[in-house]
Structure 1
Amino acid sequence: RDMGPVARYLGPLVPKQTLLWQDPVPAVSHDLVGEAEIASLKSQILASGLTVSQLVSTAWAAASSFRGSDKRGGANGGRIRLQPQVGWEVNDPDGDLRKVIRTLEEIQESFNSAAP
């Protein structure tokens, strides 16, 4: 049974090796963004032309994809960008969802390309 993140595993039978299906997250080997970068990203998002309604509906769609059984999905899971969630009718895939994702990806690409 998929129990989600390794941190949730208990007992003596926990596998020692890291398994691909556990979606392992590599250790951080770089500086994380700071207060100034966060403020800059917020400003870029606010200046992007996206409406509050578009941002909230996308955040809701992302959050509603969370599964409690294995702790996957949700707003931090990033799976709203991928199939099947991006194509779910409830997420309005041909409406605002793809536009919001595309706009946020452009901001991300610009931010990442400016990094030292």
Structure 2
Amino acid sequence: RWLEHPEELADEFAKAWYKLIHRDMGPVARYLGPLVPKQTLLWQDPVPAVSHDLVGEAEIASLKSQIRASGLTVSQLVSTAWAAASSFRGSFKRGGAYGGRIRLQPQVGLEVNDPDGDLRKVIRTLEEIQESFNSAAP
């Protein structure tokens, strides 16, 4: 294919090279200069723009109350929070709790996160609270 279409090869190589040299720079918001491409690529972990009202103090208090009443222990919540946050890498601003990657592989399956223990229960309970909250929203 590329023998017949060398421009496609050049384009694919440029994309791969760009990813190789920019992957460790973190979010695209950290890029500087006039040559930063306008397009945000999936591997850059784009954060969608907020298109809705953010929760206020009353909603936060309600969510806290629901979490307290969920039956989850402080130990379960803290160990899940640590499992999520401990994957953050300051050198390239990736990982961590933002984005909920603890729900996905490989984080959810890591032995250190006790995947067959409380992690899945905590995630399931928090997702139920989230679904209930979101469905009640106007």
**TM-score (structure 1 length as normaliser):** 0.92
Describe the superposition over 1:29-85 as per-residue Cα deviations: whole angstroms up to 9, x where unpaired. Answer: 111111000000000000000000000100111110112232111122311110000
Matches within 5 A, 1:89-104: 89-104=111-126
* Structure 1 residue 20 displacement after superposition: 2.2
Aligned-residue offset at 1:11? 3.1
Aligned-residue sequence identity (percent) comes to 97
CA distance in 1, matches of 2:76, 2:42: 34
| Cα-Cα RMSD | 1.3
Task: Compare 14-23 and 106-115 and name the one that shifted more.
Answer: 14-23
Q: How many residues align?
A: 116
Q: Specify the structure having the higher radius of gyration (Cα).
A: 2
How many Å separate the matches in 1 of 2:100 and 2:59?
20
Give the ranges of 4+ consecutive aligned residues of structure 1 lying more than 4 Å apart after TM superposition. Answer: none
Q: Which protein, 1 or 2, shows the higher relative CO under an 8 Å CA cutoff with sep ≥ 6? A: 1
What whole-Å deviation, never above 9, does each CA across 1:89-116 have from its counterpart, x for those lacking one? 0000000001000000000000001011
User: Which consecutive residues of structure 1, in runs of 5 or more, have no partner in the other structure?
Assistant: none
